[in-house]
Amino acid sequence: MYHKSAIDRSGRVLIPAGVRKQLNLQPETEMLLIVEGEEIKVMSVEAARRSALELVARYITPGGPSVVEELLAERRREVEKEMEEDEARLRGR
């Protein structure tokens, strides 16, 4: 749905009352402005947080492996490889 608004002399854009009510936007609600090319997408910080959580949830299997543990294990492997490479370089001197 489209709503028309204008930028005032102070650079502010009025969000119409119906939109604020529909989205439960209260005074002082923190908003994000996302610039994509010549477009601006406006969303509340809370809506952005929920969207991010939903996106991440698609990739997590309930009862599956812990993403944190997987990342830690991967980092440990990288550190071990770096240490082996360092030792090989030192022996080659």
Which tens digits make up the pLDDT trace of 26-52? 999 999 999 999 999 999 999 999 999
Query: What domain count does the chain have?
Result: 2
Q: Residues with Cβ < 8 Å from 16, sequence gap 6 or more? A: 3, 5
CB 80 within 8 A of CB 88: no
Largest CA distance in the chain: 73
Q: Are residues 40 and 4 in the same domain?
A: yes
Q: Are residues 48 and 68 in the same domain?
A: no
Q: How confident is the model at residue 61 (pLDDT cuts 50, 70, 90)?
A: confident
pTM over 0.85: no
Q: What is the extent of the structural domain holding 81?
A: 63-93
pLDDT at 40: 94
CB 15 within 8 Å of CB 31 = no
20 and 32 part of one domain: yes
The pLDDT, as a whole number, for residue 59 is 79
Same domain, 2 and 38: yes
Q: What does the pLDDT read at residue 65?
A: 75
